[in-house]
Amino acid sequence: MIAAAAVPAAGQQLADRVDYLDGWRGLAIVLVLQSHFLPSHAIDSGQLGVDIFFCLSGLLMSNLLFVKRVSLVHFYKRRISRILPAFLLFITVVYGLAAWAGIGRGWHEIVASALFLRTYLPAQPDIWSTGLPIGHLWSLNVEEHSYVFLSLLTLVAVLRKREAWVLAAVSAATMALYYVYETTPQIAATSFEIRTEIAASFLLVSAGYFLVKHRVAPHVRPWMPMLALGLAVPGYLPHAHWWVSAIVSPLALAFCVNHLAVTPSAVRQALAAWPLRRMGIWSYSIYLWQQPFYDYKASFPAGLAVVGALLTGLASFYLFENPCRDWINKRW
């Protein structure tokens, strides 16, 4: 049995590895795969999966930067070794194969992709309209932009111990901007929901809530996090009202992931089970490489596209991502 995990008090650190949080990440990638390869029109489970991951990422980054206070050199070293090798391999393969197939893309597009700016530059064609399987990279853009913002907060001495207030204010601004874009489409970019100033709300809300959850924790009952997860789901239904998607879902998912430690042991056991936990560990590579198989799944026999996505992701993880991360961490 998994005993109830201790709830971190103010300033208390999370353990370096928590099995059920790996499983939470695994749940996120499973939802993305289900959305792409066994789609349902009843719910946007792929977006739910991405937002589940954003909330986990906000919690973890808040722990590193505002509780553990790791140095920014160490922080970026770990981010670089974790993210860049597989990412650069992916865009090299995609743009290389595109050039080989005669699908020319300008250098400005390639550079923007490599610098995590493709959601913004160039405006046309946008990230979904290139004819290449790079649309999913929008979420990595959001992640990297958020990492930069959170790390910069640590450099402003006057904001130390006030980060939760700053994150609350910025989160509120992203929610307000969602309303502006939703109600004034002439000033909104195409697919504004994937732009950092909107999508980062999940990460920022969770990061800020992590810093104050000790004040709420004594009142949280084991059933509440799963109820919060249920309250988030309507934001992913067709024709969801803007305030459900922009306000309720981020708050509910942030509450859920931050209080997973007090859920019933059966919930944490399910998340910590080997299949979900391993999917969580492999999730980044699988997420990168599933997109080509999704975009061209009509070219594969039924069921083989998802198999190809999983096998390619695993090959990337074991043959490239892991060795590169180990090499960088040992020599830097």
Query: Would you place residue 14 in the very low, low, confident or very high pLDDT band (cuts 50, 70, 90)?
Result: confident
pTM for this predicted structure: 0.94
Domain count, the chain: 1
Closest to 206 in 3D by CA, of 173, 236, 171: 171
Structural domain containing residue 193: 19-331
Question: For position 2, what pLDDT does the model report?
Answer: 39
The two structure tokens encoding residue 279: 């999917």
297/305 Cα distance (integer angstroms): 5
Mean pLDDT of the chain: 94
Report helix, strand or coil for 163.
Answer: helix
Q: Is residue 1 part of a domain?
A: no
Q: Is the pLDDT of residue 146 over 60?
A: yes
Q: Is residue 212 part of a domain?
A: yes
Query: pLDDT above 70 covers what percent of the chain?
Result: 95
The two structure tokens encoding residue 315: 């090959």
Q: What is the pLDDT of residues 282-294, one digit of tens each?
A: 999 999 999 999 9
Question: Dihedral through CA 105, CA 109, CA 113, CA 118, nearest 10?
Answer: -120
Determine the distance from the C-alpha atom of residue 243 to the mean position of all C-alpha atoms in its chain, rounded to a whole number: 21
What is the mean pLDDT of the segment spanning 100-110?
Answer: 88
Question: For position 157, what pLDDT does the model report?
Answer: 80
Question: For position 1, what pLDDT does the model report?
Answer: 34
Query: Would you place residue 72 in the very low, low, confident or very high pLDDT band (cuts 50, 70, 90)?
Result: very high
Q: Is residue 241 part of a domain?
A: yes
Question: For position 103, what pLDDT does the model report?
Answer: 86
Q: Is residue 220 part of a domain?
A: yes
In terms of phi and psi (left: phi > 0; alpha: psi -120 to 50; beta: otherwise), the region of 5 is beta
For residue 80, the surrounding DSSP H or E stretch is helix 72-100
What is the mean pLDDT of the segment spanning 124-137?
Answer: 94
Closest to 155 in 3D by CA, of 210, 78, 73, 63: 73
Q: Is residue 2 part of a domain?
A: no
Q: Is residue 253 part of a domain?
A: yes
CA angle, 292 as apex, 137 and 77 as ends, to 5°?
Answer: 40
Q: What is the pLDDT of residues 268-280, one digit of tens each?
A: 999 999 999 999 9
Q: Is residue 131 part of a domain?
A: yes
What is the mean pLDDT of the segment spanning 184-200?
Answer: 88
Q: Is residue 9 part of a domain?
A: no
Closest to 212 in 3D by CA, of 10, 5, 71, 4: 10
Closest to 254 in 3D by CA, of 82, 66, 62, 83: 62
